[in-house]
Amino acid sequence: MSDCNGNSIIQPIVQDLNALGERIGKAIDSATADRDVQLLEGALLALAEARARLQGKTPVTQVSATIIPLQP
């Protein structure tokens, strides 16, 4: 996938996936039902994994986060 020909084939697909990811992100922002948000987030995660595979990267399967309460 790192050869010039492979990149020229894959790059437009990655760009399309990026655009689709933006659309899904906007849909998440405007969704009101928790179920819709969960479904869209799942689709966004699957899309990110597919994009990472196409680019020859290892997909992220876990994210570590720390929650810090805001002080009033």
User: Percent of the chain at pLDDT above 70?
Assistant: 74
Question: What pLDDT is recorded for position 52?
Answer: 87
Count of alpha carbons within 13 angstroms of residue 57, beta-carbon side: 10
Percent of the chain's residues with pLDDT above 90: 50
Task: Report the mean per-residue pLDDT for the chain.
Answer: 82
In a domain, 67, yes or no: no
Structural domain contains residue 68? no
Q: What is the pLDDT of residues 17-46, one digit of tens each?
A: 999 999 999 999 999 999 999 999 999 999
Range of the domain at 32: 4-54
Helices (H) and strands (E) in the chain, counts: 2, 0
Measured CA to CA, the distance from residue 59 to residue 45 in angstroms comes to 10
Q: Which residue has the higher pLDDT, 22 or 52?
A: 22
Q: How many domains does the chain have?
A: 1
